[in-house]
């Protein structure tokens, strides 16, 4: 996608003539611009000037997107629902998201904080429920990456933390806006409050603690026509997030700082937990992939109910955020068959056959698309070893990965009888068609990470003949699809095992089978010394 040029401005406060003049001049000199976003209070105290906008008397040369009121006196200027005042002035509403015609994704929240974060609020206020409505879908989606732009009238709390560039005028922020920015991960966050401040970019991930993510740039703009002559208009040229490569998206500019909201979010979470305990209820405080507390991650895991081959343990003593990371004290290590440098081989709790295995990264990596080259190379080593392992058993290797409703990559490795290979490819293609989606065939040299951006959900399967099938159309995707195909009568003929929970073995039987598999796999295992094959 090509670059998109937009403008952003601070609180207009009814200075429409000045705004019109500046937009016209900038658009003539440096345009054309796709649109202008206005944060903070748009209307002002002069009713006659406000009516010029409402009646369409003032026409802007570039479309304007405006937020809702920030004070009682301007509420009368706004309709109850999002609407167009004119063809070029659009009121977005109290909160929501939109994708513009040029491909930019925008999230927005109007107003100032209500006196009670959990209580009712006036038309010019927002509460925690409004933030929940915006963050909810992003918090539970494994495919969510971020938005291009977040518009708020209020600053987030502690936004200047870890920044060498501090605002000249201190501005009180709001914790709910910090939470909103944490979950939505905007590339640009624009706010008002009458003060100009451009913060250095901050990371949305912890270094060495997970896959790199894009940075966020926070920009606060002053009031239009302010006497201090602070900057109140900002020009931006950018490429929509959905059209960027992973390398472009996660590039870390010079002077990028650490994530600023960690401490206040932890404190806010603790307060919510205390309030919940007093009320005897349950409350979940979303914090997505930003640094999490142990309790947050466990609560999130329980909410998601991972649908993989091994389910999460409900015990609340883990000190690690993921049930498949080997550093987690609760990881069920008795299921492990082999441990390499970057990956390990384990038996799923509900195997399709006695030699059904899976390869998982040792560290917390969501998918092979997000994995490092070292991890991918070691997965390939396990693939080669398992190809020989299954060949010795009269089988051929099928491997698949479902990056959908999972938090940690799991590469399923299943041996299928060689006499069933002729129906293998058609079984997957016909199975997909029956479920209402299509599997695409990748070129011989293509890998799934060549065609899918990190964070996007997908399903891929590698067949013994070299065919690689995949789909990224995951709406209503059946989570047991790979198992359902392989359990069909022409392949493994064990349809009662489609759901892994229906064939989970007792722990003692699991341990015995793992011990047997470990012994049989040992001579193929690249992670062990070759002179240690006395068995």
495 phi and psi angles, rounded to 5 deg: -65, -15
pLDDT value for 141: 56
pLDDT value for 432: 86
Low-confidence ranges of the chain (pLDDT < 50): 279-320, 530-535
Question: Across-strand partners of 487?
Answer: none
pLDDT value for 294: 41
Residue 338 · residue 358 · CB < 8 Å: no
pLDDT value for 423: 81
Q: How far apart are CA 105 and CA 503, in angstroms?
A: 43
Out of 3.90.1150.10, 3.40.47.10, 3.30.428.10, 3.40.50.2300, which CATH number does the structure's domain 333-522 have?
Answer: 3.30.428.10
pLDDT value for 302: 40
403: closest CA among 357, 444, 451?
451
pLDDT value for 136: 78
Q: What does the CA dihedral 185, 191, 197, 199 come to, rounded to 10 degrees? A: 0
pLDDT value for 291: 39
pLDDT value for 297: 44
Cβ partners under 8 Å of residue 232, min gap 6: 9, 10, 196, 221, 222, 223, 224, 225, 226
**Cβ neighbour number for residue 478 with a 10 Å cutoff:** 18
Residue 111 · residue 124 · CB < 8 Å: yes
Q: How far apart are CA 400 and CA 403, in angstroms?
A: 10
pLDDT value for 315: 35
pTM (2 decimals)? 0.55
Q: How far apart are CA 408 and CA 133, in angstroms?
A: 26
Q: Which two tokens stand for residue 209?
A: 């603690």
252: closest CA among 321, 204, 295, 198?
204
Query: What digits encode the pLDDT tens for the residues 81-97?
Result: 888 898 899 999 999 99
Residue 59 · residue 83 · CB < 8 Å: no
Question: Can you give the residue ranges of every domain in the chain?
Answer: 4-266, 333-522
**Cβ neighbour number for residue 489 with a 10 Å cutoff:** 11
Q: Which fold has domain 4-266?
A: Purple Acid Phosphatase; chain A, domain 2 (3.60.21)
Compute the C-alpha angle 313/212/365, nearest 5°: 30
């Amino acid at each position: 996608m090509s670059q998109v040029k937009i403008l952003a401005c601070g609180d207009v406060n009814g200075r429409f003539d000045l705004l019109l003049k500046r937009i016209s001049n900038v658009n003539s000199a440096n345009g054309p611009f796709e649109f202008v976003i206005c944060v903070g209070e748009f209307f002002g105290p002069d009713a006659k000037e406000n009516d010029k906008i409402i009646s369409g008397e003032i026409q802007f040369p570039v479309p304007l997107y405006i937020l809702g009121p920030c004070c009682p006196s301007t509420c009368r200027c706004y309709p109850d629902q999002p609407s167009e005042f004119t063809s070029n002035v659009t009121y977005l509403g109290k909160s929501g998201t939109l994708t513009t015609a040029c491909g930019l994704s925008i999230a927005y929240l109007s107003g100032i904080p209500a006196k009670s974060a959990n209580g009712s609020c006036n038309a010019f206020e927002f509460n925690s429920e409004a933030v929940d409505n915006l963050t909810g879908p992003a918090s539970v989606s494994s495919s969510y990456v971020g938005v291009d732009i977040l518009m708020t009238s209020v600053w987030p709390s502690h936004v200047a933390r870890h920044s060498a560039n501090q605002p000249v005028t201190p501005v009180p922020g709001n914790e709910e806006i910090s939470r909103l920015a944490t979950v939505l991960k905007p590339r640009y966050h624009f706010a008002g409050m009458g003060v100009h401040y451009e913060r250095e970019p901050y990371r949305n991930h912890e270094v060495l603690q997970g896959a790199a993510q894009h940075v966020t740039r926070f920009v606060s703009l002053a009031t239009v026509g302010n006497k201090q002559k602070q900057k109140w208009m900002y020009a931006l040229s950018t490429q929509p997030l959905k059209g960027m490569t992973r390398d472009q998206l996660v590039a870390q500019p010079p002077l990028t700082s650490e994530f600023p909201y960690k401490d206040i979010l932890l404190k806010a979470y603790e307060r919510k937990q205390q309030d919940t305990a007093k009320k005897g209820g349950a409350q979940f405080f979303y914090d997505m992939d930003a640094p999490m507390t142990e309790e947050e991650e466990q609560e999130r895991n329980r909410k998601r109910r991972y649908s993989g081959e091994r389910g999460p343990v409900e015990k609340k003593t883990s000190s690690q955020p993921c049930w498949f990371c080997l550093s987690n004290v609760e990881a069920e290590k008795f299921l492990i068959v082999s441990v390499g440098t970057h990956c390990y081989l384990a038996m799923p709790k509900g195997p399709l056959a006695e030699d059904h295995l899976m390869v998982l990264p040792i560290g917390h990596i969501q998918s092979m698309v997000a994995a490092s080259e070292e991890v991918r190379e070691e997965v390939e080593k396990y693939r080669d070893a398992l190809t020989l392992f299954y060949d010795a058993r009269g089988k051929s290797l099928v491997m698949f990965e479902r990056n959908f409703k999972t938090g940690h990559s799991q590469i399923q490795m299943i041996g299928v009888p060689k006499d069933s290979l002729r129906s293998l490819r058609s079984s997957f293609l016909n199975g997909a068609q029956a479920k209402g989606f299509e599997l695409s065939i990748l070129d011989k040299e293509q890998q799934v990470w060549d065609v899918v951006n990190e964070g996007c959900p997908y399903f891929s399967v590698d067949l013994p003949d070299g065919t690689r099938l995949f789909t990224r159309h995951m709406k209503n995707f059946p989570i047991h699809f790979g198992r359902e195909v392989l359990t069909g009568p022409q392949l493994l003929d064990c349809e009662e095992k489609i759901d892994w929970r229906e064939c989970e073995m007792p722990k003692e039987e699991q341990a015995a089978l793992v011990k047997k598999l470990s012994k049989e796999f040992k001579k193929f295992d690249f992670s062990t010394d070759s002179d240690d094959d006395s068995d």
